[in-house]
Structure 1
């Protein structure tokens, strides 16, 4: 699943991402693309038990790959 949050003002990207994560089943991965590095989202992901990998793209946007921790 890919969720493109570019062009949205905070807190919309985080709200959309958290809503989509509720639909994420075990073994699935969510990829989000944001204009900014989603610092406040990382705290939420840690609390909710998700793993994530952040990569800055050539255009300055950020791609975050999110998955559930096993168990």
Structure 2
């Protein structure tokens, strides 16, 4: 599932590396584990539609930076 932090500036530790964080800047693909489901339930993460992630990635390809 793809998730992002629910609020700007919020950093949510990753399950497998608590010194790496999920932020609101970019969606991250994570497993549907008990840890991430709990954090989603707490409201610190929001699930992002996979189609929106792919659309944003395509837009990033066309920004002229190569």
Question: Normalization by structure 2: what TM-score?
Answer: 0.29
Greater C-alpha Rg:
2
Greater relative contact order: 1 or 2 (C-alpha under 8 angstroms, separation 6 or more)?
2
